[in-house]
Amino acid sequence: MEKKFPKIAVKNLHKAFGNKVVLDGVDLEINQGESLVVIGGSGTGKSVLIKCIQGLIVPDFGSIKIDGKESVGVPRKDAEKLYAKMGMLFQGGALFDSLSVWENVAFGLIENERMPKKRAKEQAVEYLHQVGLSSDVADLSPSELSGGMQKRVGLARAIATHPDIIFFDEPTTGLDPIMADVINDLIIDSVKRIGASALTITHDMASARKIADRIAMLYKGKIVWQGTVAELDKTDNPFVRQFVEGRSQGPIKVEL
Amino acid sequence: MLKKYVENFLRALGRPLIAFISRLGELSIFIARAIFNCLTPPIYLKLLFRQMVDIGFYSLPVVALTTVFAGMVIALQTNAGFSSYGAESAVATVVLIAVTRELAPVFSGLMVAGRIGAAMAAEIGTMRVTEQIDALSTLSTNPFKYLVTPRLLAGIIVLPLLVLIGDVIGIFGGYTVAIYQLQYNPANYINTTINELQSIDIVTGLIKGAVFGFIIALMGCYNGYKSKGGAQGVGSATTNAVVSSSILILICNYIITGMIFTK
């Protein structure tokens, strides 16, 4: 019954900051269990898009339905129930630096599920193992970890609350190619394991090809193309071609 | 002709005025949200306690140092100014009134504003620009309840206690100068202090403390919460927090004194 609805359905979403139009009518659907990657250059509104879906930014108008339920323009309490199903891996990790690594991972368990500390720590260590970290790091503070390790802890924190939908904000940015691939594998692995739907924004094409079931391209606040990875290589959409091949000449103008 | 001048004048006035009013509106909404979240459960008691220790206990040295010297200097100046009218009885009274009504609250407020207001703005501002506040939301935790409420409540609870301690230390400062430097009679000094002590003096200081605590935590949290644009944004948030809370403390101090002591 519930399967009839797409997991997330975004329709005609608009957002402007002052005179600057960031989202100009975005239409996007993510199906149950699907991994969608949104590609696009810097400043095309990718981050604003996922922040709108998560309720961190209120869109000007448009519709965002999660499991068929509207989250824009409904009372805050109703919307929060929808947001509670979401998890997010932030670009910089966004780990709480006043807490230790395991307290970060167990944050949702302790604060929302009221799990006793001892059990929460055991669970946190379990999640750290899942992302390939040993229990030695559990008591360190986040600032003592390398960038790749912080991303892993962020991933462990995101999956610890068993979300239905996970967002990845440029998961491989700032990592070396090998660590980036490790993170890609972890993303695929962990999303499959908990059976979640995933929405990733990135401009790393290698990462996009690897983790995507479907790819959508955002340019100037609109989705200009979407399709599977196989279709990505065949399409003659000039925006996609320019972006995938990384040329400075083409329909996409870099705003200097 | 005149119409044109007026128009231009209004235009020049317009932009900063609109910016000011929208800022004021933003602050009002922030205050309303903060107070609403202070009055509704859940309250994070552990965080509240940690903030109380941070704001209260660790501010004791600076508050003690500033109030003791404030009391001492008032004793010296009163002695100098009143020497021709029988300074001995005046010094104790003036020290008592000056310290309890004005100096202890204001100095505690300003010191804590510098120490804690800056730290709050820097910490919350860094959390903002590194997306930690967004991360709290995605983990179904209300960032207001987690960050702002404990600081506001701690400020309101702890500052009056600091003022009370400042009162005692400030009066003690005046006493040491009067006895050891000015060679007054200790028994007379203590007697005068106790006889002149009125509850209104203490209560005023406590009210001021609570108000100042609210201002410090509010400006620290507000400026941190709204900061944007990386390290520079956090830096200016910190400056704004200290400057605005210091100015507001001095203005509110005048207003409260005016309300209580002018009849």
* DSSP letters spanning A166-207: EEEESTTTTS-HHHHHHHHHHHHHHHHHHT-EEEEEES-HHH
| pTM for the full predicted model | 0.82
Taking an 8 Å cut-off on Cβ atoms, the answer to whether A94 and B134 are in contact is yes
Distance in Å, alpha carbon of A80 to nearest chain B alpha carbon: 8
Tokens 């609570």 -> residue:
B210
> Can you list the domains of chain A with their CATH numbers?
1-34+44-85+204-256 (3.40.50.300)
Count of CB pairs separated by less than 8 Å, A with B: 52
Report chain B's mean pLDDT, rounded to a whole number.
87
- Joined together, the tokens standing for residue A112 give 């929302």
ipTM: 0.81
Determine phi and psi for B232, rounding to 5 degrees: -65, -40
pLDDT digits (tens, 9 = 90+) for B58-111: 989 999 999 999 999 988 888 878 777 766 778 888 888 888 888 999 999 999
Determine phi and psi for B56, rounding to 5 degrees: -85, -65
Question: Which of A55, A92, A158 faces B130 most closely, judged by CB atoms?
Answer: A92
Residues from chain A that touch B138, judged by Cβ atoms under 8 A, are 54, 56, 83, 86-88, 158, 167
* CA distance from start to end of chain B: 50
The Cα A224–Cα A26 span in angstroms is: 9
Distance in Å, alpha carbon of B140 to nearest chain A alpha carbon: 6
What are the C-alpha distances in Å from B221 to residues A127, A233, B36, B237? 33, 50, 15, 10
Question: Which of A88, A98, A111 faces B138 most closely, judged by CB atoms?
Answer: A88
The Cα A201–Cα A37 span in angstroms is: 6
Tens digit of each residue's pLDDT, chain A (256 residues): 445 678 788 888 888 887 888 888 888 888 888 888 888 877 778 888 888 888 888 888 888 888 777 777 777 777 777 777 888 888 888 888 888 888 888 888 888 777 888 888 888 888 888 777 888 887 888 888 887 788 888 888 888 888 888 888 888 887 788 888 888 888 888 778 888 888 888 888 888 888 888 888 888 888 888 888 888 888 888 888 888 778 777 777 766 5
Task: Cite the DSSP H helix spans in chain A.
Answer: 46-53, 76-83, 101-105, 107-111, 117-130, 147-160, 177-194, 205-211, 229-234, 238-245
**Interface check B134 vs A, CB under 8 A:** yes
Question: Which of B126, B131, B141 faces A90 most closely, judged by CB atoms?
Answer: B131
Q: Select the residue from A91, A107, A150, A167 to test the B interface by mutation, using most B Cβ atoms within 10 A.
A: A107
Longest Cα pair distance anywhere in chain B, in angstroms?
77
Residue ranges of the domains in chain B?
A: 44-261
Query: CA-CA-CA-CA torsion for A5, A8, A11, A13, nearest 10 degrees?
Result: 160
Residues of chain A with a CB closer than 8 angstroms to some CB in chain B: 51, 54-56, 80, 83-84, 86-88, 90-92, 94-98, 107-108, 111-112, 157-158, 161, 167
